[in-house]
Structure 1
């Protein structure tokens, strides 16, 4: 290769230029005005002699005389270009009503009929029209106006000419016609029915494949380093916060590191301990670093279910997504729907057995997240009308057995779901995506409404929250924290959010508020 020559750019320009030229040639020039035909059937009655019902074909007559070796041809005449073909576009004298002439070497025309009109309005063009006739060796068709894609078919019954040898195959029909302004003299062109693509298209595809292969070759063989995407940054990013939002953050971090090999995002089992714990960790890191008042940390982010509480003015929020939460129960409860009043009474300890809400005779066991959980805070604020659940009765959820109701608390979403699934009569709460992955649990509707974004938008479903990413101060634009936030807002990040049942804030009516409309 010539050193310094921009081969990749040249190949990219070539790969773009050729399809554009091909498209202009096909649609603007060659295909602008085109009259086409297709022989869809050409068969003799003797070809079907093996059929028990073919005899009537062989006995076809003309003026009480049996046809010699009768045969049938079905022609399709069509406008295969991109503009109208009018009656005045046919190449013929003005006083000649005939637009197309069809002959059948070696055969005589016994009869014909025009059939299968693409549009009913073509019918009058053939009803008693001048220019439509058939003689012994020729079919004449009138100058039919054809819109783009319009067509009609001609079925001809033929017999072998006396001078044509019987054991000799018949030549193809000869169609003579032309249109003014068409390419290659405007001559009528034989078209083909392709199951995949025509030869020119296949050649174009092969060319584009070759260009793509050449681009790949130059990419893998060049000596200079590949430039990183715009949002990539070097360094280490520490993530913490919501356990409900943890699956989204983990997947996004994994994809980001694949895209940006100079970035490190270490994630351990203790990285996510809850929304408040994440904010505490972020605030502590900021104070320890002692950065300037107008600066911010570029290596830390905390994710929370809902906004922070009052105080901590250094922590700045960025709305990321609208999240849905759901109530979940052990399947032995026999419950799939609860009213908002019943939910509040359950968490207040007023309902202690599922039979009180028309479920099974099983004690109610409440499995909740620990204080500081955004999922729990959202439950209290959005569903329980600001009232905290009944007090904890056991420190260890494994002690929720026997015939007594009770409540326990766990530290993360995964533990809560597993505990509800294994504890008879258990009721818990979770992010929808995580709950949906548990086949052993039953999601509970609230007032008949399931956990859907549409229900939240209509104000019918109450258990939802905005997911926030918090930074300590304003992170530098070229920092890893800023780059990862931009990554979550681009198409890849939004795809990850959607795959977990969240709605990206940018898709809502008011993205900055990131709330149901």
Structure 2
């Protein structure tokens, strides 16, 4: 009789284990189809992620994806602190001071070209890289010095912590100190200020170019997608979406969608980005080509 009770007890425990396992599987499935994903960071990447999130949620109504700007520095800091699921960045996590990049997982979703832009009243379409550097370091202060009108140059910079600024300075200033100038947190705000400020110059991701500003040719090289893919146009960066540790659940599902054909072969080009699959070169966190 005693052995029978023990046997029945073992059967019950076995059934309970199967039930718990089944519940666990349901929970994992639910985690992948429901939940909230908060994405914060790079304003250069923001338009692509917002558009992708909108399309993604049409087929994944149980997942709410919230996308915010704030700059690459903010995105990296917040994801490292566990405050958000994804931190968007135009720079590698290794490039941000005071951050343990080993805790973060990099998901590259696109490439963005960046280009200097001026107010159309400047009536210039081309500069040399040396001239561009001297403008942003304060050595050239009037457009007349580079073949433009007799008009003071108004430099508009991105704020410290901006990945767009870090990319621009790494490729243009090459370690020189930028001139003290007006700083803005948002790519969209920079675009509007340059478009409405006589004599203004700044820089924008290709995805923010409009007819209201004049993009500049540098050293005879056009700012085109094709020239970015070969590194002939050198002002570009990867668009990173970082997670703290390995992505899982709804977060992984959204990141998988970002690398799907629906995004890479459609939205990426449509919104002014370059698919990571089209790049003919690679570069590392030290801005060095690793596959020239």
Report the TM-score when normalising by structure 1. Answer: 0.47
The CA deviation string for residues 403-461 of structure 1, in whole angstroms up to 9 with x for no partner, is: xxxx20011001111011111100011111211xx222101111111211222244321
Gaps of 5+ in 1: 1-230, 287-298, 392-406
User: What CA distance in whole angstroms lies between the structure 2 residues aligned with 1:318 and 1:410?
Assistant: 27
State the partner residue of 2:194. 420
Distance in 2 separating the partners of 1:232 and 1:505: 25
* 462, 467, 473: which one aligns with 2:234: 462
- Matched with 1:505 is 276
Q: Tell me the residue number matched to 2:251.
A: 481
Aligned positions of 1:112-511 closer than 5 A: 233-267=33-67, 271-285=68-82, 300-308=85-93, 309=95, 311-312=99-100, 313-391=102-180, 407-435=181-209, 438-476=210-248, 479-494=249-264, 495-509=266-280
SS in 2 for 1:325: strand
Q: State the secondary structure of the residue aligned to 1:481.
A: helix
SS of residue matched to 2:33: coil
Number of residue pairs the alignment of both structures matches: 254
Indicate if the aligned counterparts of 2:229 and 2:280 stay in contact, CA closer than 8 A: no
2:21 corresponding residue in structure 1: none
Distance 1:363 1:509, change over 3 A: closer
The secondary structure found in structure 1 opposite 2:51 is helix
The answer on whether the counterparts of 2:40 and 2:86 sit within 8 Å (CA) in structure 1 is yes
Corresponding residue SS for 2:118? strand
Counterpart-to-counterpart distance in 2, 1:277 and 1:450: 32
Deviation at 1:512, TM superposition (A): 9.6
Distance 1:232 1:335, change over 3 A: farther
SS in 2 for 1:342: helix
Residue of structure 1 equivalent to 2:4? none
User: 1:368–1:492: structure 2 CA closer, same or farther, 3 Å change rule?
Assistant: same
CA distance in 2 between partners of 1:456 and 1:502 (Å): 11
Q: CA deviation at 1:306?
A: 2.1
CA distance in 2, matches of 1:335, 1:510: 30
C-alpha displacement at 1:232, in angstroms? 5.9
Structure 1 residues 463 and 511 mapped into 2: Cα distance closer, same or farther (>3 Å)? closer
- Alignment RMSD (CA, Å): 2.3
Aligned equivalents of 1:236 and 1:302: distance in 2?
14
The CA deviation at 1:506 is 2.8
SS at match of 2:241: strand
> For the structure 1 residues 285 and 232, does the alpha-carbon distance in structure 2 shift closer, same or farther, using more than 3 Å as the test?
closer
**Aligned with 1:427: secondary structure?**
strand
Structure 2 unmatched ranges of 5 or more:
1-30
Change in 2 beyond 3 A, CA 1:243/1:336: same
Q: Distance in 2 between matches of 1:482 and 1:446?
A: 39
Post-superposition shift, 1:317? 1.1
Greater fraction of residues in helix: 2
Per-residue CA shift, 1:479-510, capped at 9, x if unaligned?
Answer: 11111111011111111112122222233346
Q: Are the counterparts in 1 of residues 230 and 281 from structure 2 also a CA contact under 8 Å? A: no
Q: Map 1:71-82 to 2 at 5 A.
A: none
